[in-house]
Structure 1
Amino acid sequence: MLAPKKTKFRKFHRRLNFTFIKKKGPRNREIISKSTLTAKTDLNFGFCGIKALQPAKLHARCIEAARRAMTRHLKRSGKIWIRVFPSVSISAKPNEIRMGKGKGPHSHWAALVRPGQVLFEIDRVGLEDAKQACALAAAKLPFKTAFIQKK
């Protein structure tokens, strides 16, 4: 599974809700609105791929499961690029433990995915095979996705 080789700290602060940004409205009131992603929305390597339609935390296990589903369907032909990396450490306390007594131990790694972000790209295969592989991979992901291709 994917994980960072080295991190600055063992445990990290929990990030704020990453799907919203604060903008100054009339009379300097803060308006919370959904942010739009400008980078990571285009295909850079392959001719088709999978794009996220909802914001979510994507676990490293889900990324690996989707990658395996695609490679097995393509019978190890073609080329697959993974465009997300799980760089956020998620900690969790065990079940039936009382509150307090510090932060829980590291549980798993996750990637913060925003709407419009490209997750996987495929090249060197036929269009129908690529569509079927992307459908299999999308079934392993915990949010809505869309199949995209270059024009």
Structure 2
Amino acid sequence: MLMPKKTKYRKMFKGRIKGKAQKGNTVVYGDFGLVSEDKAKITSRQIEAARIAINRYLKRGGDVVIRIFPHKPITKRPAEVRMGKGKGPLEGYVAPIKEGTVLYEIGGVDEALAREAFRRAAHKLPVRCKVIAKAASEEVK
């Protein structure tokens, strides 16, 4: 699972995900990118499941780059515990995603192969996604 090596604080406030992505919204490393169309918190397990789906379909053919990282700690209280007594223990890490964020990139494969790999990966993620090409992402700027 992806998680930070070290954090300054063990627990963090929830916060809100507002607006569209200003950074990380263009394809940089590959030829095609999987872009989020919603706001969400994607867990490290979901990121890993989508990565495995992409790699299995490509049969290690292309270069896959993960553009998101789960750095935000999420806590959870046990079931049927009374109110109070502080914040719960650490459950895992999530990556807060704004709409327009490039989640994954693929390089070195043709478009049909990349689209199908991204379609399979999108089923593992809690957001609606679309596929963009490198030239299309440069026009958005």
TM bucket, shorter chain: over 0.9
Task: Tell me the distance in 2 between the aligned counterparts of 1:86 and 1:9.
Answer: 15
TM-score normalized with structure 2 length: 0.93
Task: Tell me the distance in 1 between the aligned counterparts of 2:40 and 2:13.
Answer: 18
> Which structure 1 residue ranges, 4+ long, deviate > 4 Å from structure 2?
none
Return the structure number with greater helix share. 2
Number of positions where the alignment pairs a residue of Structure 1 with one of Structure 2: 135
1:59 counterpart residue number: 43
2:17 counterpart residue number: 18
| Counterpart amino acid of residue 90 in structure 1 | I
Residue from 91, 108, 128 that aligns with 1:107: 91
- Residue 77 of structure 1: how far off its partner (Å): 1.6
1:31 counterpart residue number: none
Task: Tell me the distance in 2 between the aligned counterparts of 1:150 and 1:101.
Answer: 50
Q: Identity percentage over the alignment?
A: 41
Task: Tell me the distance in 2 between the aligned counterparts of 1:14 and 1:132.
Answer: 34
1:90-105 map, 5 Å: 90-105=74-89
Unaligned 5+ runs, structure 2: 136-141
Residues 117-145 of structure 1: per-residue CA shift (max 9 Å, x gap): 00000001121111110000001001101
Task: Tell me the distance in 1 between the aligned counterparts of 2:43 and 2:54.
Answer: 17
Task: Tell me the distance in 2 between the aligned counterparts of 1:71 and 1:133.
Answer: 8
**Contact 2:65–2:104, Cα closer than 8 Å, also in 1:** yes
Larger Rg: 1
| Counterpart amino acid of residue 2 in structure 1 | L
Name the SS for the 1:134 alignment partner.
Answer: helix
Residues 19-49 of structure 1: per-residue CA shift (max 9 Å, x gap): 1xxxxxxxxxxxxxxx232211110010101
Aligned-residue RMSD, C-alpha: 0.9
- Residue 14 of structure 1: how far off its partner (Å): 2.3
Residue from 103, 108, 122 that aligns with 1:119: 103
1:147 counterpart residue number: 131
Unaligned 5+ runs, structure 1: 20-34
Task: Tell me the distance in 2 between the aligned counterparts of 1:37 and 1:49.
Answer: 15
2:66 counterpart residue number: 82
Task: Tell me the distance in 2 between the aligned counterparts of 1:36 and 1:80.
Answer: 24
Greater RCO (CA < 8 Å, at least 6 residues apart): 2
- Residue 84 of structure 1: how far off its partner (Å): 0.3
TM-score normalized with structure 1 length: 0.87
Return the structure number with greater strand share. 1
